C-alpha cells in the first residue's frame, strides 16, 4: 500500500510540473517565439513527463503484484478448501458417523460462503486505490492549509496611512522563492518609480517581473 501511495503521489507531482510548464509556455507563446525557446520548453515538458512514466511503472508493478497475490490467494483457497472438505467427508464416512456429519452439500455451503465473502472484500480493491489517490492528491492541499504564514493577514497592527502618495523605490533587494531557495529571482535589485510615471518591466520568464509586484504587495518578504 505504501508503494502504491508513493507512486501515485510522485505521478501527481510530475503531472503537476508538466502542466505548469505547458501553461507557462502557452500563456506566453509570443515571448517563447521571440526568444526561440520552443525546444527548451519541449525538453522541460518531456523531462517532467519522464518522471511520471517512472512513477507509472512503479505503480503498475505494485498493482500487478497485488492483483497476482489476490488471485493466488483465491485459487489456493479453492484448493485448500476442497481438500479439507474432502478430508472431513472421508473421515466421517470412515468412522461411521451417524449424526451431524459432513457431506458434499454442507462442505460446499461453507466453502462458497467463504469464497463469496472473500470476493466481496476483493471488490473493495478499486475503492482502496481511489482512496490512496485522493490522499496523495490532498497531501499538498493540506500542507498549504496547515502552513503558518510569516505574514499575518488578519493583524491590525502597524502604521495606517491616511493618504498614500509619492514614489516607489526598491533598493538592493535579493529574493528567492521558498520552494526554490537555491535560485535567486532578484539579486541586489534596485528600482525607482516616480509618482505618475509609467514603467514597463521587460525580461524573460523567471527574471523577477511579477516577483517585484508580489513583493510590493507583501505576498512575500525579501
Residues 51 and 141 in one domain: yes
Residues 67 and 138 in one domain: yes
User: What local confidence, expressed as pLDDT, does residue 4 receive?
Assistant: 62
Classify the C-alpha dihedral 123-125-129-132 as positive or negative.
Answer: positive
Q: Is 49 within the bounds of a domain?
A: yes
Which pLDDT tens digits describe the chain residue by residue (222 residues)? 566 667 677 777 777 888 888 888 888 888 888 888 888 888 888 888 877 777 778 778 877 887 888 788 878 888 888 888 888 888 776 666 766 677 778 888 888 888 888 777 777 777 777 787 787 778 778 888 887 777 677 777 777 777 777 788 888 888 887 777 777 887 888 888 888 888 888 877 777 788 888 888 878 776
> What is the total count of domains within the chain?
2
φ, ψ for residue 171, nearest 5 deg: -130, 120
Grouping H, G, I as helix, E, B as strand and the rest as coil, residue 24 is helix
191 close to 170: Cβ distance less than 8 angstroms: yes
Residues 78 and 13 in one domain: yes
Residue 29 corresponds to which cell in the numbers above?
A: 507563446
User: What local confidence, expressed as pLDDT, does residue 7 receive?
Assistant: 66
Range of the domain at 41: 2-146
Find where cell 465473502 sits: 117
Q: Is 116 within the bounds of a domain?
A: yes
Q: Is 161 within the bounds of a domain?
A: no
User: What local confidence, expressed as pLDDT, does residue 83 receive?
Assistant: 87
Domain boundary among 97, 114, 146: 146
Q: Could you tell me the CATH number of the domain that includes residue 19? A: 1.20.1560.10
Please give the helix or strand (H or E) that residue 182 lies within, else none: none
User: What angle in degrees, to the nearest 10, is found between the helix axes of 125-146 and 38-95?
Assistant: 140
User: What local confidence, expressed as pLDDT, does residue 160 receive?
Assistant: 76
Grouping H, G, I as helix, E, B as strand and the rest as coil, residue 175 is strand
pTM above 0.75, yes or no: no
Q: Is 160 within the bounds of a domain?
A: no
User: What local confidence, expressed as pLDDT, does residue 30 receive?
Assistant: 84
167 close to 190: Cβ distance less than 8 angstroms: no
User: What local confidence, expressed as pLDDT, does residue 205 receive?
Assistant: 73
User: What local confidence, expressed as pLDDT, does residue 94 receive?
Assistant: 67
Q: Is 157 within the bounds of a domain?
A: no
Using CA atoms, how far apart are residues 215 and 189, in angstroms rounded to an integer?
12
User: What local confidence, expressed as pLDDT, does residue 99 receive?
Assistant: 65
1 close to 132: Cβ distance less than 8 angstroms: yes
Q: Is 135 within the bounds of a domain?
A: yes
Residues 15 and 120 in one domain: yes
Amino acid at each position: 500500500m505504501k508503494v502504491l501511495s508513493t507512486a501515485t503521489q510522485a505521478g501527481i507531482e510530475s503531472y503537476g510540473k508538466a502542466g505548469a510548464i505547458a501553461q507557462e509556455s502557452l500563456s506566453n507563446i509570443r515571448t517563447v517565439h521571440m526568444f526561440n525557446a520552443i525546444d527548451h520548453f519541449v525538453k522541460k515538458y518531456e523531462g517532467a513527463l519522464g518522471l511520471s512514466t517512472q512513477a507509472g511503472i512503479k505503480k503498475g508493478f505494485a498493482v500487478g503484484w497485488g492483483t497476482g497475490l489476490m488471485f493466488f490467494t483465491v485459487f489456493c483457497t479453492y484448493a485448500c478448501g476442497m481438500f479439507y472438505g474432502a478430508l472431513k467427508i472421508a473421515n466421517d464416512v470412515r468412522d461411521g458417523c451417524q449424526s451431524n456429519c459432513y457431506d458434499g452439500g454442507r462442505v460446499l455451503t461453507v466453502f462458497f460462503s467463504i469464497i463469496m465473502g472473500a470476493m466481496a472484500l476483493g471488490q473493495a480493491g478499486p475503492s482502496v486505490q481511489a482512496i490512496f489517490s485522493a490522499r496523495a492528491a490532498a497531501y499538498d492541499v493540506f500542507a498549504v492549509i496547515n502552513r503558518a504564514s510569516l505574514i499575518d493577514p488578519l493583524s491590525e497592527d502597524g502604521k495606517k496611512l491616511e493618504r498614500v502618495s509619492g514614489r516607489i523605490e526598491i533598493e538592493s533587494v535579493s529574493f528567492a522563492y521558498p520552494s526554490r531557495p537555491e535560485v535567486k529571482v532578484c539579486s541586489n535589485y534596485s528600482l525607482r518609480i516616480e509618482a505618475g510615471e509609467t514603467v514597463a518591466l521587460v525580461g524573460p520568464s523567471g527574471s523577477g517581473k511579477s516577483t517585484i509586484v508580489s513583493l510590493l504587495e507583501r505576498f512575500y518578504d525579501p
